[in-house]
């Protein structure tokens, strides 16, 4: 396998997973898809980036892999790479509680 296919596959899995889990998409079509998924197991999958990346990476692993062993490793590797990319690009949540500062003692 060429190294650039691994890089492009990782980026593609991250992009598609991010689109499905966090974006509205053109014409709000992805938001409507998430709403149609409801609150069951399918809806929970769309809410969890890590879970969704496992499912999104399956077709990429099948297309890019040569043999079942390579496909299994690619499946987990592509999912792991997309999770790492998500953690690198995710904005930290602001603190919900900030302790009052004490005035300096003179």
Residue 54 CA to chain centroid, in angstroms?
A: 9
Mean pLDDT by 10 residues, the chain (106 residues): 92 95 87 84 84 96 95 96 93 68 70
* Domain ranges across the chain: 3-89
| Residues 75 and 56: beta-carbon distance below 8 Å | no
| Residues 12 and 60: beta-carbon distance below 8 Å | yes
What pLDDT was estimated at residue 96? 67
Q: What is the token pair recorded at 25? A: 């998409």
What pLDDT was estimated at residue 95? 62
What pLDDT was estimated at residue 14? 96
Number of CB atoms found within 10 A of residue 21's CB:
20
């Amino acid at each position: 396998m060429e190294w650039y296919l691994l890089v492009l596959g990782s980026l593609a899995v991250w992009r598609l997973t991010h689109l499905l889990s966090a974006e509205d998409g053109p014409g709000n079509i992805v938001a409507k898809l998430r709403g149609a998924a409801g609150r069951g197991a399918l809806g929970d999958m769309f809410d969890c980036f890590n879970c969704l990346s496992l499912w999104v990476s399956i077709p990429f692993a099948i297309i890019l892999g040569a043999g079942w062993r390579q496909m299994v490793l690619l499946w987990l590797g592509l999912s792991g790479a997309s999770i790492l990319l998500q953690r690198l690009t995710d904005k930290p949540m602001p603190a919900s509680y900030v302790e009052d500062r004490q005035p300096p003692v003179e």
